[in-house]
Amino acid sequence: GAVVSQHPSRVICKSGTSVKIECRSLDFQATTMFWYRQFPKQSLMLMATSNEGSKATYEQGVEKDKFLINHASLTLSTLTVTSAHPEDSSFYICSARDIQQGSNYGYTFGSGTRLTVV
Amino acid sequence: DQQVKQNSPSLSVQEGRISILNCDYTNSMFDYFLWYKKYPAEGPTFLISISSIKDKNEDGRFTVFLNKSAKHLSLHIVPSQPGDSAVYFCAASGDSGGSNYKLTFGKGTLLTVNP
């Protein structure tokens, strides 16, 4: 089945630094990738939708200058948390959509990245 | 505005019994629904889905029921096994014919299956 690789699985960084998270679709081409954020005991909140070769579409309330998304190829999207602060500490998950949908509607999720800003 | 609601934060069931997880939605434009299982510090794993043109979909021990008039769906797991213990998320999408296929998630229900 479709596999999405997300790295790193966990990262600790100092306040003020930037962190890049990668999301790769390993065996399919993903024209659309999604980035989610999950707080403890909360739902997965969609941050942005990225389409290959175009600018990401951010959800209301998400700072696009803080959460930079790049989707340069059909198999790779990156999320960069710039000038990270402790309140950015969270679990970030990417999802890639395979145009050859299937019963999962084409969505495959990465394993997530636990970001801790100290 | 929570468009997908899972009103039970947790559910505890005895092994071998049926687990019923509920989900309600408010957006009538949603036409495809999915259930995911999630362990801590991992991404969601797809379980089963249903299109709005159906009212039931079954896959092994998992069955999803959809009541469009009530805007309600449920996931039945029978028989429940200890390995089913996880957080279950309901998700919905309303763009089956469009270009933006984003999912809207509920808050999840923690299922605990006791041996």
Is B97 near chain A, with CB under 8 Å?
no
Residue A105 CA to residue A46 CA, distance in Å, equals 17
In angstroms and rounded to an integer, the radius of gyration of the C-alpha atoms of chain B is 14
Q: What percentage of residues in chain A have a pLDDT greater than 90?
A: 67
Among B34, B42, B63, pick the best mutation site for testing chain A contact (most A Cβ within 10 A).
Answer: B42
Residues of A in contact with B93 (CB under 8 A): 105
Is B16 near chain A, with CB under 8 Å?
no
Q: How far is A86 from chain B (nearest CA, A)?
A: 18
Q: Distance of CA A114 to CAs A2, A38, B51, Å?
A: 22, 10, 33
Residues of A in contact with B9 (CB under 8 A): 41
| A72 or B24, greater pLDDT | B24
pLDDT in the model for residue B70: 97
Which is nearest to A22 in space by CA: A92, A89, A105? A92
- Whether residue B108 and residue A43 make contact (CB cut-off 8 A), yes or no, is yes
Q: pLDDT of A59-69, one tens digit each?
A: 999 999 999 99
Strands A113-117 and B4-5 come out as: unpaired
pLDDT in the model for residue A103: 60
Tokens of B77: 């797991």
Contact in structure between A3 and A63 (CB atoms under 8 Å): no
Q: What percentage of residues in chain B have a pLDDT greater than 70?
A: 93
Q: pLDDT of A83-115, one tens digit each?
A: 999 999 999 999 998 766 666 667 889 999 999
- Whether residue A34 and residue B103 make contact (CB cut-off 8 A), yes or no, is yes
